[in-house]
Structures are given as structure tokens and as C-alpha cells.
Amino acid sequence: MLHHPLHEWLSASRTPSDTARVLGRTIPLRRLEPQGSSNGWWHLDGAERLGPLPLTASVGSPLLLEAGEHPQHWLLLQHDGSACLHQGRQRRQLHNGDGVILPGLPWTLHTDEASYTLLSFDPIELLAAARRLGGPHWQSPSPRQSPLLTLRELSGANDAAAATLLAMLNRLLVSAHEVASLQMDLLENLLLQQQLYRLLALLVFPELRDGNQRQPAAASSNDPRLESLLDFISLHLDQPLSLQQLEERSNYSRRTLHYLFHQRFDCSPMQWIRQLRMTQAHERLANPSPGDTVKAVAAECGYRSLSQFGLDFQRAHGCRPSAVLRSGRSAAA
């Protein structure tokens, strides 16, 4: 029998449709199909909420699971068996005891007999937890370097600290489930959700484990609302962002937003967003994946107009985006 830390909580699903109904409570399922197996279908599945965090657990026979877009991020913990994860052009073979961070984009999971847990979490809350751990002198990574923007492995294979943190994370999920089954208020009173975000922050941002490696702050203002807004912008550069949306998100007036951005970045909020998008666009074009196009990169950077993207890119970098893409392909070849 495959190992799963939440095994006692899981219930038998007699058919793939039963499993789809359980997993569909928390996962935006597009498709769930059994894969070839001489042993037929067998599955133990469960879905619940740990406070505001949806949790899904599954162990059983081979399947193909396809999930759609989700407003939050995912943490996938592989416990036992064999599985392979696809998101966009990225593919990861999952190893027992490891984890994977998934942005809320569509993804597909192929399993042989496997045991895993999926937890949905808020990336803004994770960055806030990292900032609390790092203190006023820690600065979250720039958008093009953020480990929350693309699929990221959390492996303990060559990192003893990460292996310990992943084991603690699994134990905390078991404790949180047991507490939630007794009384939901206890979950909040014991601060288990905050503990979970802190453990995850230490895994995603290894520099937080060593106070000597923390980077100096680049800002003079430490207003938490501004920090939260900057995190939101960095994680949503592919989406339309307006000044009105920033006002509503931060609860700042337009005048205050302009003052704070000029004080910190010497530019307006929309100019700063354009700078971030141009930095991200140059990085993507200079290091392209197979099949990348200027149009696709422009869309990833929040541009609906290809001509406007070309104009902004040439102003920012002094060359055409197509030239950077050709150079990037040549370098890769």
C-alpha cells in the first residue's frame, strides 16, 4: 500500500467519477481519466478546507488529471509512487518527499500508482510571511527573478535544511487537519495557518534561513499596504493593470500612489509597471523557450497590442524585440 500522511482521513472511491467528484471540490478539474492498469481502479481521496486554504489528498491507481486556471497558487507534495507534472512547456518528474510550487495556470498530472497532496495558497500572503521573517532589510525578488512566477521544485535531495522543512510541512498539515476536524476556531487560535506560510516561505526563499544573507532594502517606505501592492503587481504583470485597480487594491488615493512611487522609484505607478514588463520581456526574449514568439511574450507581459509592445520595447532597450529573440535563439542553438 502506498504511504500517505493523511491516509486515515481518506475515503474509498469506487470509480473515476467518484474520484472526480471529490477532487473537483477544490481543484478546477478539466479532465480526469484512468490510465492503463491490470489491477483496475482503486483510489482513496479527500478534500476539505484548512481555514481558507483548500486541501486535496489522493492515493491510488494511475490517472491523468488536467486542471484549469486558478486564482491562487498550488503546493503539490509527492509522498509515494511515481508521477509527472506538466505546466506550459515545463515538465517535472516528481520524487518522493519533494514538493512543487505551481502558479495558478493550467497544469496536467500523469501518475502511475501515486500518493500526493495539493494545497492552494495565496502568493501575496506568502510574500508577506517572507517579509515578516526577513524583517525590514529583506527585499522580495524582482519580478523576472521571482520563484513564484514559474513552476518551482522544492527538493530535499541535496539540501538537508529543505528536507527537514518539507518533513515539518507534512507533519503540520496532519496536525492542521486533526485540529480542523475538531473545531475550526482552534486552527486560527493556534496560528497553524501562519506557521504553514512561514515554513513555505523558508522553502521558497532559502536566503531567509540565514540572516547574514538578507539583502538591504531598496525602499525608504515600509508601509505594508505598499509592499502588498508591489507584490500584487509583480505577480500579475500578464494581466491588465489600471491606476483605478491599484487604488482599489491598496486603498490609497491616486495622489498618494503617485507620491509614494515617485518617492521610492522616481516614476509614476504606470511607468514602474511598464519598466517591470520591459525587463521581463527582454529576459524572456533573450532566453526563449522552443516555439516562443514576440506576440506570445508580449501577451505574457500584459500587452494586448503588439505594435504598442514594439514601441515600448524599442524605447526601453533601443532595439526591436524580434532582434533580441533572434539573438536569443542563436545563442541557444
Amino acid 130: pLDDT? 86
* Domain 224-332, CATH: 1.10.10.60
Query: For 211, phi and psi rounded to 5 degrees?
Result: -60, -25
Q: What is this structure's pTM?
A: 0.68
The burial class, CB within 10 Å (0-12 / 13-18 / 19+), for 238 is middle
**Can you name the residues that pair with 74 across neighbouring β-strands?**
102, 120
CB count, 10 Å around CB of 325? 18
Domains in the chain: boundaries: 1-218, 224-332
Residue pLDDT, tens place only, 167-216:
999 999 998 888 877 766 666 666 788 889 999 999 999 888 875 444 43
pLDDT along the chain (333 residues), means of 10: 90 94 95 80 92 91 94 94 91 91 93 94 87 73 68 87 93 87 69 88 88 41 76 89 90 86 85 91 88 91 91 88 89 73
DSSP strand E in 122-229: where? Answer: 152-154
CA 175 vs. chain centroid, Å, equals 23
Neighbouring C-alpha atoms within 13 Å toward the C-beta of 280? 29
* Domain 1-218, CATH: 2.60.120.10
Q: How far apart are CA 15 and CA 41, in angstroms?
A: 7
